[in-house]
Structure 1
Amino acid sequence: MAKTYTYDEVQQHRSASSCWVVLYGNVYDVTTFLPNHPGGQKIILQLAGTDATEEYDPVHPPGTLEESLPPSAKLGSFDTTTLPQVNKSPEKLNTPSTVPAQKQVQAVGPTTLGECLNLDDLEALATRKITRKAWGYYYSAADDLLSKTLNNTVYSRILLRPRIFVDCTNCSTATTMLGQKVSVPFFVSPAAMARLGNPAGEAGIAQACGTFGAAQIISNNASQTPEQIVAGAKEGQVFGWQLYVQTERRKSELMLQRIAKLPQVKFIVLTLDAPVPGKREHDERMSNVASSLPIRSSVQQGKAGEGVEKSTGRVEENIESGSAGAGGVGKALFAGTAPDLTWQTTLPWLSQHTSLPLVLKGIQTHEDAYIASQYTSQIKGIILSNHGGRAMDTAPPAIHTLLEIRKYCPEVLGKLEVFVDGGIKRGTDIVKALCLGAKGVGLGRAPLFALGAGGVEGVERMLGILRGEVETGMRLLGVERVEQLGMRHINARAVEGEIYDGDGDGGVGVVRSKL
């Protein structure tokens, strides 16, 4: 018969030589696992002797315990009645005193999903409901948030050109993404840690996407495993898998093997816009948990028995130097990400480990878009993105890069499917990007906030709002199908004057001469 342990008994095991934690009502001896923890042993030791469930659960995929620990590590149950009484301060973002760096939630605003009429409403509702840690991670961007702000505002200076006397009875938002049929021209971009905002997590987002026929790119740092996320997928539902190549390539190779077994995943998205994490001060201020919370994604955890070697220990090194605490959730997730990728070495390596079409995410110049178009045997698409403004502040919004491509190397639009993401707030933003030649538009923060606002129903609300706004925009432009949208439907002159103006051809000639 399994023993039941009291709080005082568990408290006696808080050292590297004897480390116990309480998870889901059970006591675990994790002493032997300490040296193997991807984030370093200090992270676990700071939770030793306590009930770590509340901190552990939102950021670890289900099944992690069983995969990482032997059955003997489970010592018995925990007597919750022996816990000391603690007056815990609220963690929700519902008072000005708890959110000194946040733009304050207004006294009046949506309190139910039914009252949310746009994406800002959903974000405001989520801000009232989710924890400080979740809000800090979702909202944050690099440095002074200039790129994040420009991502949002650039669309407002592109004007639409409505037409009259056009039958707008019929309208279809259906299109394709890398040859796969989708019902809407927007998709969920890879965004990590959905379960920080709601237990439904990425699987909940997938459920909503299935209802609307939207594609979803699964984050490399998802809080659920790819198998769990696609488990309930509808027939024909489209997924992509985001890849951050790890310094220990074997980890990435094993993940690609797993992804190859999931027929729902149709393509690989190699993310290149954040080889190192940006400085996200809202994440630091609101979270300040990198040195006390074992934040690990499904990929970083690895799986027992798959030959995953120990991590590089970079998170532990950061903790020792004092820098991890200054990085928040975002920085902790980048442990082990490889900074040494190149055109010459990475693409051949990838071709050995996946046969799925490849999309490069994070293109921010027309020169790199042009280079990508020279590898069409492997690369089928590119996502113009500045990582939601979370990597390098003052990097250009995706629309600037798209206009650069149109000016200096428009042939790229005929060779690759070009997608954009970052800053989408309205269906008209999506329509404008499509008019400029984008094949589809990605949504990053919006699904996370929508999930936080109302779980699966919140994401469905968000997708429904955007679909309705896209349809309205198309009808007012006199367009029935997505592929009919073009430059004649917009006036982008106010933005065109801000794009890169290099010597002559903008540098494409130099790039061509080197290829």
Structure 2
Amino acid sequence: MAKVFDAAEVAKHNTPESCWVILYGDVYDVTEFLPEHPGGSKIILKLAGRDATEEFDPIHPSGTLTEGLDPSCKLGRVDPATLVAPAVEEASAKREQEGPVDVQTLLNLDEFEEVATKKISQKAWAYYYSASDDLFSKSFNNQVYRQILLRPRVFVDCTNCDISTTILGHKVGLPLFVAPAAMARLAHPDGEHGIAQGISSFGALQIISNNASQKPEEIVANSAPGQIFGWQIYVQNERAKSIAMLKRINKLPNIKFIVLTLDAPVPGKREHDERVGSLGRGLDAISDGTGEKRESKGGVGKTLFFGTATDLTWKTTLGWLKEHTDLPIVLKGVQTHEDAYLAMQYAPHLKAIILSNHGGRALDTAPPAVHTLLEIRKYCPEVFSRIEVWVDGGIKRGTDVVKALCLGAKAVGVGRAALFGLGAGGKEGVERTFEILQGEIETCMRLLGVDKVSDLGPKYINSRAVERDIYDGHAGLEKVGLWVGAKL
């Protein structure tokens, strides 16, 4: 029979030398695990001696405890009568009173964000909403689309409109995909699997985040026939961890490619996220085992970057990745025409690039994807014929999607939109989000006089106001071939 502990006894074990936590009613001794925790020891120490279930559950896939801890770490059960009920935040109580929202009454992505902001926790909102420094890149990602005007043609039969396309040779129902969006269960218990279910009827693609709150096996479970996924990798300092994960991904037939993210080797300064704090907000300063008392700093974003490798290079990383997977590679985070041109050298194993500034969450004032699209068109347009070019960041309307396609993008990604859709209404909220965007894309194409995606092109837009702001320096491509060896 399992030993039963009084909560007061557990509370005594709150130091690096003896660290216990309560999870799902069980008491665990995690002292030996502290230096091995992927997010660092300080995160656990903030919750030492307490019931950590509420903090642990939304951000850890099922099975994390059994996979990460030796069975001997489970000491017994806690007497529930001795637990102190957590204080209910005023905002949380208000959310409970307001009840569910009929997502069918929501008409655009801004309304979804407004509803989700009221429903999800402050920590979840801060993580999703936050961006680097002054949030300039985050805002400009969307504003730049307003600077591009559409050029509709009239007297064109617009009875039919087919927005289906192909991505890496796979048929998809629309040129819209879910970009890697981490920690979805902070928004709703449906998590990333709920996003997958919400977009399934559209034949849409989802890229699973390396930092998903559910296992990839759980996310792709019960997916619709023909539904495809990609998987994002942040290469770890401990390469063995990345290799082990790639082995799992290689066994999942629904996952068709690997996305190597490059635009955030270190986390940006996301002040909204840091202000709320990652875990245990309001706790006193803690010791991290070095003898020095330190205030808890950093939000969820910084926590997730713990252990991420910063030594990736063109010469070494792509070759290493090819050793461990035969899946096609997509590079995410390209922000200049030079890097797009370099990526092209690694075709055919490298199949696509995603022009992205990480949703404005990495380097503030980095260029929006639209600028990089125009740079590529100006300096090295051959990239579009050698590899697929996708974009993400700032998408709020179907017209934004169409404008990106006109500039040469093969597919367009949304991240926050999926998370806010999930937060507003679970998988039904995600479905409604994609229904809105699908309708707006179709309406835009019909009003332009275009009946299929492949016919979209620069003649349907006026991007002159944006072109004057793109990079206008030296192309810098002459010596690329002398030092790049595409030995894949």
- Please give the range of the TM-score, normalised by the shorter of the 2 chains: over 0.9
2:435 aligned with 1:445: no
Report % sequence identity.
65
Instruction: Indicate how the Cα distance of structure 1 residues 251 and 292 shifts in structure 2: closer, same or farther if over 3 A, else same.
Output: farther
> Counterparts of 1:18 and 1:317 in 2: how far apart (Å)?
11
- Tell whether the 8 Å contact from 2:177 to 2:414 is kept in structure 1 after alignment: yes
> Counterparts of 1:485 and 1:46 in 2: how far apart (Å)?
53
2:121 aligned with 1:115: no
**1:194-209 counterparts in 2 under 5 A?**
194-209=184-199
Alignment partner of 1:133 out of 123, 127, 142: 123
> Counterparts of 1:162 and 1:112 in 2: how far apart (Å)?
34
- Tell whether the 8 Å contact from 2:109 to 2:397 is kept in structure 1 after alignment: yes
2:154 matched residue in structure 1: 164
2:64 matched residue in structure 1: 64
- Tell whether the 8 Å contact from 2:46 to 2:279 is kept in structure 1 after alignment: no
Deviation at 1:287, TM superposition (A): 2.8
> Counterparts of 1:320 and 1:378 in 2: how far apart (Å)?
49
Deviation at 1:7, TM superposition (A): 1.9
- Tell whether the 8 Å contact from 2:278 to 2:303 is kept in structure 1 after alignment: no
Alignment partner of 2:339 out of 365, 368, 387: 368
1:389-440 Cα shifts (integer Å, max 9, x gaps): 1110000000000000001110100001000000000001000000111000
2:84 matched residue in structure 1: 84
> Counterparts of 1:474 and 1:81 in 2: how far apart (Å)?
62
2:404 matched residue in structure 1: 433
- Tell whether the 8 Å contact from 2:235 to 2:308 is kept in structure 1 after alignment: yes
SS across alignment from 1:136: helix
Deviation at 1:199, TM superposition (A): 1.1
SS across alignment from 1:509: coil
**1:79-478 counterparts in 2 under 5 A?**
79-84=79-84, 87-92=87-92, 111-289=101-279, 322=294, 325-478=296-449
Deviation at 1:91, TM superposition (A): 4.8
2:483 aligned with 1:508: no
2:475 aligned with 1:485: no
Deviation at 1:92, TM superposition (A): 4.4
> Counterparts of 1:27 and 1:290 in 2: how far apart (Å)?
18
2:52 matched residue in structure 1: 52
2:13 matched residue in structure 1: 13
Instruction: Indicate how the Cα distance of structure 1 residues 318 and 201 shifts in structure 2: closer, same or farther if over 3 A, else same.
Output: farther
SS across alignment from 1:32: coil
Instruction: Indicate how the Cα distance of structure 1 residues 211 and 412 shifts in structure 2: closer, same or farther if over 3 A, else same.
Output: same
- Structure 1: gaps of 5 or more residues: 96-109, 294-315
SS across alignment from 2:22: strand
Deviation at 1:65, TM superposition (A): 0.8
Deviation at 1:86, TM superposition (A): 5.5
Deviation at 1:442, TM superposition (A): 0.6
Instruction: Indicate how the Cα distance of structure 1 residues 40 and 277 shifts in structure 2: closer, same or farther if over 3 A, else same.
Output: closer
Instruction: Indicate how the Cα distance of structure 1 residues 89 and 256 shifts in structure 2: closer, same or farther if over 3 A, else same.
Output: same
1:470-513 Cα shifts (integer Å, max 9, x gaps): 0111111111111111111111111111100013xx22335456
Deviation at 1:317, TM superposition (A): 9.6
Instruction: Indicate how the Cα distance of structure 1 residues 381 and 87 shifts in structure 2: closer, same or farther if over 3 A, else same.
Output: closer
Deviation at 1:347, TM superposition (A): 1.3
2:3 matched residue in structure 1: 3
Instruction: Indicate how the Cα distance of structure 1 residues 159 and 224 shifts in structure 2: closer, same or farther if over 3 A, else same.
Output: same
Deviates more, 1:63-72 or 1:396-405: 63-72
**Which letter does structure 1 place at the counterpart of 2:347?**
T
> Counterparts of 1:319 and 1:363 in 2: how far apart (Å)?
42
1:74-106 Cα shifts (integer Å, max 9, x gaps): 3333332222356443354979xxxxxxxxxxx
> Counterparts of 1:142 and 1:359 in 2: how far apart (Å)?
24
Deviates more, 1:136-145 or 1:70-79: 70-79
**Which letter does structure 2 place at the counterpart of 1:5?**
F
- Tell whether the 8 Å contact from 2:101 to 2:424 is kept in structure 1 after alignment: no
The root-mean-square deviation of aligned C-alpha atoms, in Å, is 2.4
**Which letter does structure 2 place at the counterpart of 1:21?**
V
> Counterparts of 1:353 and 1:86 in 2: how far apart (Å)?
46
> Counterparts of 1:19 and 1:490 in 2: how far apart (Å)?
61
Deviation at 1:322, TM superposition (A): 4.9
SS across alignment from 2:437: helix
1:102 matched residue in structure 2: none
SS across alignment from 1:220: coil
> Counterparts of 2:155 and 2:308 in 1: how far apart (Å)?
55
Alignment partner of 1:497 out of 462, 468, 484: 468
1:153-181 Cα shifts (integer Å, max 9, x gaps): 00011111112121111111111111111
- Tell whether the 8 Å contact from 1:141 to 1:281 is kept in structure 2 after alignment: yes
Q: Structure 1 stretches (4+) deviating beyond 4 angstroms? A: 91-95, 290-293, 316-323, 512-515
SS across alignment from 1:326: coil
- Tell whether the 8 Å contact from 2:165 to 2:173 is kept in structure 1 after alignment: yes
> Counterparts of 2:215 and 2:196 in 1: how far apart (Å)?
12
TM-score by length of 1: 0.88
Deviation at 1:448, TM superposition (A): 0.7
Deviation at 1:225, TM superposition (A): 1.2
**Which letter does structure 1 place at the counterpart of 2:124?**
A
Deviation at 1:252, TM superposition (A): 1.1
1:351-389 Cα shifts (integer Å, max 9, x gaps): 111111111100000011011111113211000000101
- Tell whether the 8 Å contact from 1:47 to 1:292 is kept in structure 2 after alignment: no
- Tell whether the 8 Å contact from 2:40 to 2:306 is kept in structure 1 after alignment: no
Number of matched pairs? 478
**Which letter does structure 1 place at the counterpart of 2:383?**
V
> Counterparts of 1:371 and 1:468 in 2: how far apart (Å)?
36
**Which letter does structure 2 place at the counterpart of 1:259?**
I
> Counterparts of 1:290 and 1:184 in 2: how far apart (Å)?
42
> Counterparts of 1:41 and 1:347 in 2: how far apart (Å)?
31
Deviation at 1:318, TM superposition (A): 11
2:27 matched residue in structure 1: 27
- Tell whether the 8 Å contact from 2:182 to 2:211 is kept in structure 1 after alignment: yes
1:214-239 Cα shifts (integer Å, max 9, x gaps): 10001011111111111121221110
Deviation at 1:194, TM superposition (A): 0.6
- Tell whether the 8 Å contact from 1:22 to 1:28 is kept in structure 2 after alignment: yes
SS across alignment from 2:370: helix
